[in-house]
Structure 1
Amino acid sequence: MDQEAVRGPGGRCVETTAARHMRELDRAEALRLLSTVSLGRIVFTHHALPAVRPVNHFVSGGDIVIRIHEDGALGALVAPADAPGVVVAYEADVIDPVTHLGWSVVVTGYARVVADADEVDRYAHLLHPWVTHPMTGVLRIRPDLVTGFRLEGDPTRPVPAIRG
């Protein structure tokens, strides 16, 4: 049997079958999975370099919504009113550290600040900041490109065994 050894919880040696495969997700399934988690990572340009920040989010009408504060790095994503937005990527995943099974979704699209005060108020009640710094705005990412995959095991192969 083709197996690999990895360290599981508590440093225990875990054998996992190498009979995993990657299945591409369609757009609808990828966005559905994204809506089941609240943590992701936004990738953007900061001082002409790529930057990544963990943020909480929710999915609304196919868009990814996050909160920002003006003086933070994400505050720089405010685009002029006549621009389509700022290109960003957003990634979220759930991958089991022992079995290496799960999924990952990447959304690429334009991020724009939500200007409607009623929408901002509604979103502010749905997204709670992780730090005590007050959040001053809401960013909406409209997905243009949605890619995702699911790492699946072969059901005919044994479940990973944890060794002492």
Structure 2
Amino acid sequence: MQTVRRFGRAGLDLLEDRECLRLLGTVPVGRVVFTRGGLPAVRVVRFRVDEDSIVFAADDSEEGIRAALRGDVVAFEADDLDAGHTEGWTVTAVGHLSVVPPEEALVLAPSEPGRQLIRLDVESLSGHRLLV
């Protein structure tokens, strides 16, 4: 069976949700986009894909934990770009944050006991592959 490719207005190859999640699993670092004091803010995080969610460690401030406890809506973006050849992909996820329970955090990050993890429950995914 041949894969049907979809193209957006700018000629970018649009990615299906499953492909977006697969690609996210191939890179270790992404960016959480949130609001701080009414202004946009971005934080770089190490993350992992856990089924249909994105999990990352809370930073040392309590800001991330408070956002997760409130269930804030944030965006998350990761990519793999080769600027020299103008190839690559980018994926953006949007959803609500939550705190990962400690017993689940031990399973997800056994090498980091006691580390507080935050989950982004993905509600919307979009991605595209850059075409030469």
TM-score, normalized by the shorter chain, greater than 0.5: yes
Segments of structure 1 that go 5 or more residues without pairing to the other structure are: 1-19, 129-133, 154-164
Runs of 4+ off more than 6 Å: none
TM-score relative to the length of structure 2: 0.83
Q: How many residues align?
A: 123
SS in 1 for 2:104: helix
Q: Offset of 1:70 from its aligned partner?
A: 5.3
Q: CA RMSD in A?
A: 2.2
Instruction: Give, in whole Å, the separation in 1 of the partners of 2:58 and 2:86.
Output: 32
Taking the aligned partners of 1:21 and 1:101, their CA distance within structure 2 comes to 13
Q: Distance in 2 between matches of 1:135 and 1:112?
A: 17
Kept after mapping to 2: 8 A contact 1:111/1:139:
yes
- Does the CA contact (< 8 Å) of 1:103 and 1:149 recur in 2? yes
- Deviation per residue, 1:19-58 (Å, 9 max, x gap): x941000111111101111100000111221110000000
Distance in 2, Cα, partners of 1:143 & 1:35:
14
> Between the two proteins, what is the percent identity of the paired residues?
35
Whether the 8 Å contact between 1:42 and 1:55 is mirrored in structure 2 is: yes
User: Where does structure 2 lack aligned partners over 5 or more consecutive residues?
Assistant: 1-9
SS at match of 2:131: strand
Match 1:146 to one of 120, 125, 128: 125
Contact 2:94/2:124 (<8 A) preserved: yes
